[in-house]
């Protein structure tokens, strides 16, 4: 698994988070095809783990610039992908960081990437969205791109808040982002997204739970966000792409 992660990728720093290097691919569809060829499996998940998504980059930037948010705390990163957010939390001084993803290749990527950055992250292949958080802080980035997943993540975050566990979510305003239940904390222009999104630079926000008295602030920030429904480009499995 670790070899598959390294095979179609290169260890690169990201423009918004140059402190962290990740094994990243240049484009998704070729890598997806390659993974299916190597593993002999079809119908695999897209290689989300081979990219630093806008939400992950924004949230990682925020954690590195505000280490007091995570310092000494037990942190979980759900839908971790490459592990970028988890690695940033570890770098910012979290006591323990656990990264969850359902894709076994994401788990391999988190292991390879955390090692490349000399950070300790526990990578766990599990879907914990129907439970409650065993942590002081929940992190999640770019997980509102599918209706069902988004609804489950939103319920998990609501449950976390009810239990007194705060959360931070990085998202550029995807279709199923539950904005009414969120408060913006910070926004960044994330560059270098041309292979994944409709534009190379995307304004991306770090959110936390909404409190009733901050409604005006939420509305103001909405105006700055892309009003379009924003879906990632990575939607067509390799078998369905047009031959070039």
Ligand X SMILES: C[S@@+](CC[C@H](N)C(=O)[O-])C[C@H]1O[C@@H](n2cnc3c(N)ncnc32)[C@H](O)[C@@H]1O
How would you class 158 by CB atoms within 10 Å of its CB: exposed for 0-12, middle for 13-18, buried for 19 or more? Answer: middle
In the complex with ligand X, the residue whose CB is nearer, 146 or 214, is 146
Residue pointed to by tokens 């489950």:
152
In the three-class reduction of DSSP (H, G, I as helix; E, B as strand; rest coil), residue 137 is classed as strand
What's the closest the beta carbon of residue 4 comes to ligand X, in angstroms?
15
In whole angstroms, give the CA distance from residue 22 to residue 228: 29
Q: Which of 173, 167, 159 is nearest to 139 (CA)?
A: 167
Run of H or E including 207: strand 202-209
In the complex with ligand X, the residue whose CB is nearer, 149 or 218, is 149
| Eight-class DSSP state of 26 | S
Binding site for ligand X (CB under 6 A): 45, 48-49, 52-53, 55-56, 78-82, 84-85, 100-103, 106, 127, 129, 141-143, 149
What's the closest the beta carbon of residue 210 comes to ligand X, in angstroms?
21
Q: b/e map of 36-69 (b: 16 or more CB within 10 Å)?
A: beeeeeeeebbbbbbbbbbbbbbbbbbbbeeeeb
How would you class 6 by CB atoms within 10 Å of its CB: exposed for 0-12, middle for 13-18, buried for 19 or more? Answer: middle
Structure tokens given for 20: 């962290």
What's the closest the beta carbon of residue 244 comes to ligand X, in angstroms?
25
In the complex with ligand X, the residue whose CB is nearer, 158 or 214, is 158
What's the closest the beta carbon of residue 160 comes to ligand X, in angstroms?
14
Structure tokens given for 46: 């897209």
In the complex with ligand X, the residue whose CB is nearer, 49 or 188, is 49
What's the closest the beta carbon of residue 216 comes to ligand X, in angstroms?
29
In the complex with ligand X, the residue whose CB is nearer, 34 or 214, is 34
In the complex with ligand X, the residue whose CB is nearer, 12 or 214, is 12
What's the closest the beta carbon of residue 138 comes to ligand X, in angstroms?
12
């Amino acid at each position: 698994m670790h070899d598959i992660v390294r095979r179609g990728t290169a260890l690169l720093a990201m423009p918004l988070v140059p402190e962290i290097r990740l094994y990243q691919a240049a484009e998704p569809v070729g890598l997806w095809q390659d993974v299916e060829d190597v593993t002999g499996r079809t119908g695999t998940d897209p290689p989300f783990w081979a990219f630093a998504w806008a939400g992950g980059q924004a949230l990682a930037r925020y954690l590195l610039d505000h280490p007091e948010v995570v310092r000494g705390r037990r942190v979980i990163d759900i839908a971790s992908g490459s592990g970028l957010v988890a690695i940033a939390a570890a770098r910012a001084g979290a006591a323990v960081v656990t990264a969850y993803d359902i894709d076994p290749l994401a788990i391999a990527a988190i292991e390879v990437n955390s090692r490349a950055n000399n950070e300790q992250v526990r990578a766990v292949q599990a879907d914990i969205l129907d439970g409650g958080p065993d942590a002081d802080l929940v992190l999640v980035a770019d997980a509102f791109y599918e209706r069902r997943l988004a609804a489950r993540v939103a319920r998990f975050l609501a449950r976390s808040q009810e239990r007194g566990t705060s959360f931070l979510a990085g998202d550029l305003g995807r279709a199923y982002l539950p904005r009414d239940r969120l408060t913006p904390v910070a926004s960044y222009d994330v560059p270098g997204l041309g292979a994944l999104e409709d534009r190379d630079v995307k304004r991306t926000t770090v959110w936390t739970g909404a409190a009733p008295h901050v409604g005006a602030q939420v509305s103001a920030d909405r105006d700055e966000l892309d009003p379009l429904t924003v879906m990632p480009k990575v939607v067509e499995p390799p078998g369905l792409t047009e031959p070039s």
